[in-house]
Structures are given as structure tokens and as C-alpha cells.
A and B are shown apart, each in its own frame.
Chain A
Amino acid sequence: EVQLVESGGGLVQPGGSLRLSCAASGFTFSSHELNWVRQAPGEGLEWVSYISGSGSTILYRDSVKGRFTISRDNAKNSLYLQMNSLRAEDTAVYYCARLADLPYFDSWGQGTLVAVSA
């Protein structure tokens, strides 16, 4: 069974940093592209960042470029999101989401809440 378990969320002040982790199991981790998708309270879903299976291709939405860094450790079956210079508008539940061979999201973690507030 595919499992994705996020951790690392919490309350942080504007301008602060957090590092999210996603621990994966039940599949060949290095063979799958992964993403972070977020959902602000009461809002819809928003793609944040993408990383290829090898980690060689990385992409971000414009609003987080230069502030967020996605990475992965295939030896540890883990995905990460380093978030710096956090803003109030980054407040959301952050989901780790796996891409199927055709690039839709076929598995999601339960999410971790990031709250940016003074």
C-alpha cells in the first residue's frame, strides 16, 4: 500500500523558516515524480513544486520561487520542502502528492499545516 506521511508543519512568524518532510513507503520511491500541493484554509488546491525521480528537474510556482526549495533523498525514501521568508499567504495545509505515469496525482499524504502569523 502506498503511504505518504508529511511532518514538520507548525506556527511560524512572518519571515521565518520551516522544513517539511514527506516519508514514503509501499512503492519504488526513486521511480516516481513528486510534488507539493497546498490548500489555504477554506480554499482550493494549489500546486507548489515538482521534483523528478532523480531530482535533476525541479520546478516551482512563481510565488514561491527563490523562497522554497524542494529536494529528495532516494536512499531514505523522503521528500522535503525548505520554506524560507514565509509570508501570511503561505498559510495552508501542505500535501505531498505522487505523480502517476500520466501526470495526475494518484496518491496524497494526509497533509501538514503551516501557519504564518505574528
Chain B
Amino acid sequence: ELVMTQSPATLSVSPGERATLSCRASQSVNGKLAWYQQKPGQAPRLLIYGASTRATGIPARFSGSGSGTEFTLTISGLQSEDFAVYYCQQYNNWPMYTFGQGTKLEIK
């Protein structure tokens, strides 16, 4: 199974600052990497697909980068509504999609 590993597990950042979340795959996912945001009691929401393409309606402060096995989600100018759990997911190994264990972004 293709394993996705996210770091850190918890990230404390002040509003207005930048958050950098990491995701590593156990083998290349050929850029087929998505990021989701999940708030308590809510379903995940697609943020990024293709490693770097923002989904419809996602603010420009969210950006994705990376290739091969290493990927990054950057959130610039953190706003209060951005504090949530973030998951990466590979879809290269269809349909055995696998998710990372999540990074909780909390207010510092």
C-alpha cells in the first residue's frame, strides 16, 4: 500500500502568519496529490488537486507545491477560518486512494 505521511501532526501558528504543511509519499505519485480541509463536524473540502491547482472557490492564500514524493501546502496570511485539520491524498494508485493521517492547524 502506498503510504502517505504528513508532518507535523499539530502546527501552531498565529493569525496573519504563514503555515507550511508537509506530505510525503512512500513512492512517487506522479503529481496526483490532493489536499483537503476538514473542520469539526464537517465533511472534508477539496482545496488543491494535481499538487498545485486550486479547486473552484479556494482563496489564493492556499497554494500547493511539490513533485515525486514530497509535497507542501502553504497557507499565507492565516485567517481564523483556516484553523482546521488538513489531509493530503494520493490518487495515483487508483482506486486504492490513501490519505495522510492529517495535520491539525491550531491558533498560537
A interface vs B, CB < 8 Å?
A: 35, 44-47, 50, 59, 61, 95, 100, 102-111
A110–B99 alpha-carbon span in the complex (Å): 18
Known: A47-B96, A59-B95, A110-B42. A100 touches B49 (CB 8 A): yes
Q: How many A-B residue pairs have CB under 8 A?
A: 56
Known: A44-B87, A44-B102, A111-B43. A105 touches B34 (CB 8 A): yes
**B89 in the interface, Cβ–Cβ < 8 Å?**
yes
Known: A45-B99, A47-B95. A109 touches B43 (CB 8 A): yes
Q: How far is the CB of B6 from chain A (nearest CB, A)?
A: 9
Contact assessment for A108 and B95 in the assembled complex, using a CB-CB cutoff below 8 Å: no
Contact assessment for B46 and A103 in the assembled complex, using a CB-CB cutoff below 8 Å: no
Known: A100-B49, A102-B50. A110 touches B43 (CB 8 A): yes
